Amino acid sequence: MALGKSAKEIQPRDWRKIGQVRLSNPEDIAESRQGHKWWVVMDPRRTNHAARIEGSYWALFVTTGPKVVQAASASRLAGPWTMVEEPILVPGTANGAPDGRHCDTPTAYWFEDMGKILIFYKAYPLRAQLTQPSSLFGSSSVVAYWHPRNVTAAKGPQILLPGKDSAWNRGWIGGFQLLYAQDTKSWYELMNGSPTPPEDISNREPAPSLGGRGVCKDHRPDRGWEVDTRYSPFVYPENLSEEERRAGLGVNLWRHHLLATPGARARIFFNSGTYGTEQMYSLVPETAA
């Protein structure tokens, strides 16, 4: 975790690391595997505001080997967090399941009117997906529904498929930050993807990784999503300047997350660099410049 100087300051040097998330029961991580990709359940209509559900904060994270999604709760964001022992999302067993290999990269939002947490996760298939012939082994975005009183989440439909049309993320799709535009009552998302499909069941995601956005045409964000091709991807690797390359930016640009302050400052944070040794970078949206 890291702390910002204030709720208003989000420049690159405005953060202080304070260590890993404190866990009250680390022995309950599934099969003693290391957890990562931590996500606090958010209020869908208040960007970057954590949601309280019956007095508690909730978070989701991934444990590897195959990848499953686990949950944890806390009375304070600073912790300590208590993990739920059993995973709430595990790979599907049905023949042709879109998540037959991994359930990865969860993001989640508390819809009080529905009485459910809406989970968006990255589904890696174990077998070729005939519904996405241009990207047989590409990952897709899947929605699931959960309440902390339930043992497991109920899986819903795939909301974005790779290999569709001429979109910039034809190869694979991942990551999902839900954003709400109050003035237009519209839903958007930040996502990652690549025009290059995985070649086999290894599901390795060939470069480049690109960041962009999607637009929802429905009043509920669990359906009706389309990939935006007018304003995204944000940056193509071949368009990086020499200064950016010297700073360590490379062919992969992923894990995009928009942080917006009450004073309308905004910054998109993302990872880039050689796989396994990435650093964090940021860019300022034009509307906030």
pLDDT given for residue 158 in this prediction = 96
Rounded Cα distance between 27 and 85, Å, is: 9
3-state helix, strand, coil in the chain (%, to 5): 5, 40, 55
pTM here is 0.94
Q: What is the CATH number of the domain that holds 156?
A: 2.115.10.20
Please report the pLDDT score of residue 288 as a whole number.
Answer: 42
User: What is the spatial order of strands in the sheet that 279-283 belongs to?
Assistant: 253-260, 266-272, 279-283
Could you list the residue range(s) of the whole structural domain that residue 42 is in? 21-233
Mean pLDDT for the stretch of residues 161-183: 89
Per-residue confidence band for 118, with pLDDT thresholds at 50, 70 and 90: very high
Are both 128 and 260 inside the same structural domain? Answer: no
**Residue that is written with structure tokens 């060939």 in the block:** 206
In a domain, residue 16? The reply is no
249 found inside a domain? yes
The reply to whether 119 and 242 lie within a common domain is no
Residue 127 in any domain: the answer is yes
The total domain count for the chain is: 2
Beta strands at 82-83 and 102-111: parallel, antiparallel or unpaired: unpaired
Q: What is the mean pLDDT of residues 189-200?
A: 92
Q: Is residue 62 part of a domain?
A: yes
Is 73 in contact with 57 (CB distance < 8 Å)?
Answer: yes
| Residues 51-76: tens digit of each pLDDT | 999 999 999 999 888 899 999 999 99
Lowest mean pLDDT among 101-105, 126-130, 257-261, 284-288: 284-288
Same domain, 70 and 209: yes
